[in-house]
Amino acid sequence: MVIYVVKPGDTLYTIGQKYGVSAEKIASDNELTQPNNLVVGQTIVVLLENKIHIVKAGESLYSIAKMHNVALDDLISANPEIEPPYSIFPGQEIVVPLKKPKLGTYEVNGFAFPNIRQDVIDKALGNLSYLSLFSYQVSETGSLTEIPDTELVTKSRSAGVAPLMVITNISEDGGFSGEITNSIFASSSAQNTLIANVLQTLKSKNYYGLVVDFEYIFPSDRDNYTGFLIKLTDALHKENYKVFVAVAPKTSGDQQGTLYEAHDYGAIGSIADKVIIMTYEWGYTYGPPLAVAPINLVKKVLDYAVTVIPSRKILMGIPNYGYDWTLPFVQGTAATVVGNVGAVDLAREKGAFIQFDETSQAPFFNYYATNGKEHVVWFEDARSINAKLNTASEYNLAGVSYWTINRNFPQAWLVQNSLYDVAKLI
């Protein structure tokens, strides 16, 4: 795999010529919306096959490996007929392996809303270990809302992807509610009702396990939340269901703020089968312009997380979206959500050049709207996904979790499949 960044004057034909891959294949692999109208700074993922090198006089396997920027051991492995002392001769054909060895097998979760388009879910399932369907909302008494998930659970299992039920403390007005969780934690009856309802749904819908996504829990309920998770997990484990818990991105155990304080990383890590760390939303709807998941800040979270949670229990969050901010930023104004493919289309429409911030490892661009206002857009591309997937490997994590897969983002799957083998649990 090569992640190519479009330069002025580039076409798919000239890019393909450079790597010996047809323009049609590149366009198809990347699902380009306008293959004949590339954007400067846009990423193109080029999937490479092996190539043949014809030996010239004076060359050695070492010099050929160096010439093609491949490891000598990989070159030797690709040519098993060449035995020690590895002598070669002019005119001999040498296979140069352009596909690099994968980083390993990792678990990949994708959150999805039930209204996900059929073509999008069909493309995604082959790239997932888990499909987390968002969400069953809990009430103060332990009842659950219903979601139209039956078809997606069936489709998921047919593709060998483990379906996960998601419960949230989202209230009727759409926000996460500490009052809901406070009421549940204060009542053994409500907890028992909730656990019974969860088990009934897991069984009747044929789910593999559960994701608990309780956010903005009152800090005073920290220990109560831990106690509830113990009770819930014990009940589900007896029925052979897995329990995942989503947590806010903390950099220390005593981090202040309602989003963070009730999420006890150490306790949750000892209870849950997997912990999904929501490493995104540094750039958010009502905040100032910033990359949604700057890799330097993501790593600060992981630096802390792996000291209190077994690394192989952690799934690192990856955002599948970006934001469009009006400049200058005014507190209280809202950014607009953009898809990663849509961001490139917007840059093309506005004649913008896409830039890349090395510190955050994220792309962005500026443009002017028809009303004369300047905008800045931060989003994800193949480079930023590559950085995140390599980070998961660097920290020896169990894998990653995308929020969400409702928008198709072909380059994420191209990069992921070049780096990872995806674990299948069912």
Question: Which residues touch 192 (CB under 8 Å, ≥6 apart)?
Answer: 142
The residue whose two tokens read 């995806």 is 422
3-state helix, strand, coil in the chain (%, to 5): 35, 25, 40
Of 24, 31, 151, 215, which residue is the catalytic one?
215
Q: Is 257 helix (H, G, I), strand (E, B) or coil?
A: coil
Q: Is 61 exposed, middle or buried (0-12, 13-18, 19+ CB in 10 A)?
A: middle
Amino acid 331 reads: Q
Say how far apart CA 367 and CA 344 lie, in whole Å: 12
Q: What is each CA distance from 281 to 249, 294, 319, 378, 383, in whole angstroms?
A: 9, 9, 8, 12, 19
Residue 215: active-site member: yes
* Non-local CB neighbours of 398 within 8 Å, separated by 6+ positions: 106, 107, 274, 311, 312, 313, 314, 315
Kindly tell me the burial class for residue 111, based on how many C-beta atoms sit within 10 Å of its own C-beta (0-12, 13-18, 19 or more): buried
Name the residue with tokens 């010529």: 17
List active site positions: 215
